[in-house]
Amino acid sequence: MTLSLNSVHNINCFEGLKRIKPESIDLLLTDPPFGIDFHKVGTQYNRSQKELGKMYTEIPQENYYDFTLKWLQAVWKTLKPNASGLIFSGWNNLGDILNALTEVGGRLVNHIIWKYQFGVFTKKKFVSSHYHLLYFTKLSKKNDNERTFNRIAEFTNSKNPKKLYFEDVWIINRDYQKGGEKTPTRLPLAVTDKCVRMCSNENDVILEPFLGSGSVVLSCLKFNRKFIGFEISKPIFNVAVSRIEEMRHQLKPDKRKIDSWLEMKK
């Protein structure tokens, strides 16, 4: 059965992706597992081992390319011919994502660096304090004018309102998670909001196959985008559901019509 829009599912994305209508997605916005052994190097990304061990599903490094190619191939079928995508990555397995993107026929538009305030103190090497964000499109260069890129003044680095430009280094702090269940890899809404607003339009459909605690969906709700999301881990999915509930109640009543995902909580 084809999945309805505005729904999130506690399932393996490989199962979910088969149930999305072909060529129905406008934007892929995803933060996949990084494929690193967090017990050795997780701390460099400020991801707590304790929390990860409890709920996060990782991919062994040796399988990372095959895993990435497999999910990207499945995603590719769901993307509209004029779709774009944004994929977060650490630096360890960045090469695998770039190679898999080339293999499926993705055309890289930008390689964005998201610089956050601070990683974790290291004595004998540089402190990691950035992620990569790969912005690609399914469109050929010839048809690139069909690509959505909203020139929103709020995000410009230019002082001249008549000449807006947007740099590919984003300096945005990570959130301090107050109270409630904490998730180790949560993206700040300042980052997901910017992706959603600049790279999609109202009512577009956004896909996040690796939902985590749901930041991408919260941005979709805030800015009136439709969404489909998958998360394999039950405890992390539960965090996403409570964050979505909370966000829905902050929205104006006419924007709260998103009910279909509720059935997926069971």
Under the criterion CB under 6 A, does residue 13 sit at the interface with ligand SAM? yes
Task: Kindly tell me which of 34 and 136 has the beta carbon lying closer to ligand SAM.
Answer: 34
Sign of CA dihedral 121, 51, 55, 18: negative
Q: Quick one: 204 or 231, whose CB is closer to ligand SAM?
A: 231
Task: Give CA–CA dist 109/153, Å, rounded.
Answer: 20
- Contact assessment for residue 172 and residue 114, using Cβ atoms and an 8 Å cutoff: yes
Among 35, 109, 134, 186, binds ligand SAM (CB under 6 A): 186
Q: Of 60, 98, 54, 70, whose CA–CA distance to 209 is shortest? A: 70
The residues, any chain, with a CB within 8 Å of residue 167's CB and separated by 6 or more, are 157
* Residues 22-41 as x/- pattern, contact with ligand SAM by CB under 6 A: ---------xxx--------
Query: Considering the complex, what minimum distance in angstroms separates the CB of residue 134 from ligand SAM?
Result: 14
Strand partners, 86: 29, 135
Backbone angles phi, psi at 65, to 5 degrees: -65, -45
Q: What are phi and psi of 152, to 5 degrees?
A: -90, 120
Q: Are strands 130-137 and 107-115 parallel, antiparallel or unpaired?
A: antiparallel
- 213 near ligand SAM (CB under 6 A): yes
- HSE of 27, CA atoms in CB hemisphere, 13 A: 28
CB closer to ligand SAM, 88 vs 136? 88
Pick from 35, 85, 90, 212: which binds ligand SAM (CB under 6 A)?
A: 212
Residue 177 binds ligand SAM (CB under 6 A): no
The residue from 7, 84, 183, 200 that contacts ligand SAM (CB under 6 A) is 183
Check binding of 10 to ligand SAM (CB under 6 A): no
Tell me which residues in 47-106 interact with ligand SAM (CB under 6 A).
56-57
# chain residues binding ligand SAM, by CB under 6 A: 22
**Taking the complex as a whole, how short is the minimal distance between the CB of residue 242 and ligand SAM, in angstroms?**
13
Q: Is 236 in the site for ligand SAM (CB under 6 A)?
A: yes
User: Quick one: which segment of 17-25, 136-144, 178-186, 248-256 binds ligand SAM (CB under 6 A)?
Assistant: 178-186
State residue 13 phi and psi, 5-degree precision: -60, -25
Stretch that binds ligand SAM, among 12-20, 128-136, 139-147, 194-202 (CB under 6 A): 12-20
Structure tokens at 58: 């990782």
Contact 68, 97 (CB under 8 A): yes
Give the Å distances, CA to CA, from 40 to 118, 246, 264.
19, 35, 35
Residues that bind ligand SAM (CB under 6 A): 12-14, 31-33, 56-57, 183, 185-187, 209-210, 212-213, 215, 230-233, 236
